[in-house]
Amino acid sequence: MGTTLFELYLIVQRFAVLGTGLCPVDSEIFLSHNFHLWFHAGVAQWLDIALYKALQRIKKAVEIDHLVPVDSSVKYSSSAVDTLAIFYQIKIFWKQLAWPDVEGSYTFVAKIIDDICRCSVFYADQMSEKVEGMGESQNVYEKKFEVTNEWCLAINNIDYVRQSIQAFVGELGMEEIVTSLANFRSQTEADHCQRTLQLVIDNAVDTVGNKILELLEKVAEKMAPAINRFLLEGAELLQQENNCMDRLMKYLDDNLLTLHSHLNTDNFSRILAIIWENLSHTMYELVESNLERKRPPTFFLNLHETLKILVGFFKQGDEKNDTNNPAILEQMEHLLQLYGMETWELIHQYHLERREEQMAMEAATHGLLTVRMQFVEDLLRIEVLNARNLHPMDTNGSCDPYVKIHLLPEEKFTTITKPRTKTHKKTMFPLYDEYFTLHLTSEQQELENGLIMFTVKDQDFLGTNEFLGEAFVAFSDVPKTDMTTGLEQMAQVHLKLSRPTRQDSEVYRALESRHDKLARDFIKKEKPKFLPS
Please give the radius of gyration of the chain, using alpha carbons only, rounded to the nearest integer.
40
The DSSP call for residue 496 is: E
Start-to-end CA distance of the chain, whole Å, equals: 88
Q: What is the pLDDT of residue 197?
A: 80
**What is the C-alpha to C-alpha distance for residues 225 and 137, in angstroms, rounded to an integer?**
13
Side chain identity, residue 410: E
**What is the C-alpha to C-alpha distance for residues 82 and 78, in angstroms, rounded to an integer?**
6
The pLDDT tens digits of the residues spanning 349-388 come to 999 999 999 999 999 989 999 999 999 999 999 999 999 9
**What is the C-alpha to C-alpha distance for residues 110 and 90, in angstroms, rounded to an integer?**
13
Q: Read off the pLDDT band of 109 (50, 70, 90).
A: confident
> What residues are paired with 408 via a beta bridge?
451
The pLDDT tens digits of the residues spanning 162-203 come to 998 888 877 877 777 777 777 777 888 878 877 888 888 888
Under a CB-based contact definition with an 8 Å cutoff, are residues 452 and 475 in contact?
yes
Under a CB-based contact definition with an 8 Å cutoff, are residues 372 and 387 in contact?
no
The pLDDT tens digits of the residues spanning 37-77 come to 666 677 778 888 888 999 999 999 999 999 999 998 888 99
CA distances from 96 to 27, 167, 281 (A): 12, 19, 55
Q: What is the pTM for the complete model shown?
A: 0.67
pLDDT at 18 over 70: no
Candidates 47, 71, 67, 56; CA nearest to 123 is 56
Phi, psi of 380, deg, nearest 5? -110, 115
**What is the C-alpha to C-alpha distance for residues 131 and 136, in angstroms, rounded to an integer?**
11
**What is the C-alpha to C-alpha distance for residues 306 and 311, in angstroms, rounded to an integer?**
9
CA distances from 450 to 199, 263, 358, 368, 511 (A): 65, 54, 16, 22, 20
- CB atoms < 10 A from the CB of 223, how many? 24
Name the residue with higher pLDDT: 489 or 323.
489
